[in-house]
Chains A and B, each alone.
Chain A
Amino acid sequence: DARVTQTPRHKVTEMGQEVTMRCQPILGHNTVFWYRQTMMQGLELLAYFRNRAPLDDSGMPKDRFSAEMPDATLATLKIQPSEPRDSAVYFCASGFGGSTEAFFGQGTRLTVV
C-alpha cells in the first residue's frame, strides 16, 4: 500500500518552541513538496525537492522555516521559533519528476498557542 506518511498527525505547541514535521515519500518518487493549507490562501507551496536537492523554497519564511531531505526516505520541515500564525495544516506530497501528479499525505495539523 504505497502512500505518503506524515508524522505527527497533530501537534500542539507553545509559541517559541521548535516544531519538526516529518514525511516519508512513496518509495521511488524523486520529487517531494511541502504545502501549507490556510483558509485564505488555500494550498501554499513552501518548498520542493527533486532527487533530495531543494529546487524552490521561496514560499518559506527563511528566518524561521527550514526544509531538508536527509535521505530519500525522509523529508523534514522545521519551524524555529514557532508563532501562532504558523497554525495550519502542513501537507507533504511526492511524485515522479516529469509527471506532475502528486500524492499527498494526510497532513500535520499544527496549533501554536
Chain B
Amino acid sequence: DQQVKQNSPSLSVQEGRISILNCDYTNSMFDYFLWYKKYPAEGPTFLISISSIKDKNEDGRFTVFLNKSAKHLSLHIVPSQPGDSAVYFCAASVVYEDMRFGAGTRLTVKP
C-alpha cells in the first residue's frame, strides 16, 4: 500500500531553471513531510521538511509547498544546478511514528 506516491520517475531541467518535484499522499494522518536527496552509492540525506501547520518552508534555493486539501506537496529548486542531479525522495510521517517514502524522482540538471 503506497501511502506516498511520486508519479514522475525522472525529470530533466536546464541549469539555472526551476525544478519542480511532486509528491502525493493518501494518509490524512500524516503531519510531517520531508524531502531527502540521494546520490549513487550513498544513503539518502535530509534536505528540507515541513509541518502540516504550514504551507510553505524555504531554505536557500529549496522551497517545499504543502497543499493539505489536495494531499500534495512539491519541492522547488531555484536555480537548479548540475550538483542537484540526484534521486529525490518524498517522505511523510505521523510525528513520533514511522516514516513512509515514495519511489523517488531522478532529477538531471543539464549544464
Contact = CB atoms under 8 A, between A and B. Distances in A.
Nearest to A99: B95
Contact of B93 (A100, A105, A107): A100
Secondary structure of the A contact surface, majority rule: strand
Contacts, number: 57
B11 interface: no
B96 A104 contact: no
Contacts of B49: 100-101
Which size class do B's interface residues fall under? 20 to 34
Interface stretch (A14-22, A41-49, A66-74, A75-83): A41-49
Interface of A: 4, 33, 35, 40-45, 48, 55-56, 91, 93, 97-98, 100-107
Interface of B: 2, 6, 32, 34, 36, 41-46, 49, 89, 91, 93, 95-104
